[in-house]
Amino acid sequence: MKNYLSLIKFSHTIFALPFALVGYFLGVIHTNAFDGKILLLVLLCMIFARSAAMAFNRYIDRDIDKANARTASREIPAGVVSSQNALVFVLINSILLIVTTYFINPICFYLSPIALLITLGYSYTKRFTSLCHFVLGLGLALAPVGAYLAVTASFHIVPILYGMVVLFWVAGFDIIYALQDTDFDKEQELYSVPTRFGKKSALGISKFLHLGVASILLLTSYLVFTELNGMDYIHWIGTFAFLVLLAYQHSLVSPNDLSKVNLAFFTTNGVASVIFGSFFILDYFL
């Protein structure tokens, strides 16, 4: 179990999980009905979808990871988890995701194959497009929208805007993460924003995307504050904390110093997501 949790980097679920909870509580606000069963099913969907996506990424990239000194110690190239078992793990989680959505509502069930197509399909994208970071962002952006759909069985502009926040936020910090492999990716003819535009321009693109995140998040928080009954000022604290940490991560990385990429990528973004989600949910309960 420990090896499989390491394979899928289970701790990184923290990036999108708070936004899924935000989507769920938005649905609760609009329906005025808290359903613990739906909440549990939403959490299971998050776990199954991300487990399938991460394991599939490791399976598809096993030869690339083996050739890259930075990733050669990952579970499949290191022989800790066999590629066949990893693929079986992907299939099991994919089936569990679809089955779980069946018990939520018809629209989630019918859309679940599309969600899988996006999250699994990301693993192929760096072989043919520098937009791969945005496909990854799109996969995680499904979290708030899907959670809202689970509660209401309908779409709404606010969870869609939160999905856009996640899309550009994830794409921006994934570009920062990709800086580590710029030279290797060029040798392997893999695509990314850093390999196409260079490290300095890639950081500029990441900053631009995160400026877009700030704009959309401020707009969405304003809509939540003015249009949703029961929401007060508390979620604004989470909004501003998220934006401060978003800016902070860019102070940690430069084209000539990538020593703090992991701090910028994992710690800062994880903390930002948890703080934002926590203050949103706290605002709802208070």
Domains delineated in the chain: 2-285 (1.10.357.140)
The count of other CB atoms within 10 Å of the CB of residue 9 is 15
Task: Write down the pLDDT at residue 55.
Answer: 92
Sign of torsion, CA 103 86 175 268? Answer: positive
Q: What is the pLDDT of residue 190?
A: 96
Tokens of 187: 């040798």
Please tell me the pTM assigned to this model.
Answer: 0.94
Digit-by-digit pLDDT tens for the chain (286 residues) are 776 666 667 666 778 899 999 999 999 998 988 999 999 999 999 999 999 999 999 999 999 999 999 989 888 898 898 999 999 999 999 999 999 999 999 999 999 999 999 999 999 999 999 999 999 999 999 999 999 999 999 999 999 999 999 999 999 999 999 999 999 999 999 999 999 999 999 999 999 999 999 999 999 999 988 877 656 788 999 999 999 999 999 999 888 888 888 877 778 888 999 999 999 999 888 8
Check residue 266 and give its pLDDT.
78
DSSP character string of 34-67: --HHHHHHHHHHHHHHHHHHHHHHHHHTHHHHHH
Q: To which residue do tokens 């703080």 refer? A: 275
Residues 6 or more apart whose Cβ sits within 8 Å of residue 37:
none
Residue 249, burial from CB neighbour count under 10 angstroms (0-12, 13-18, 19+): buried
Helix (H) / strand (E) containing 132: helix 132-152
Crossing angle of helices 17-31 and 36-60, in 10° steps, is 150
Tell me how crowded residue 98 is: count the other CB atoms within 10 A of its CB.
17
Amino acid 45: pLDDT: 96
Q: What is the pLDDT of residue 2?
A: 74
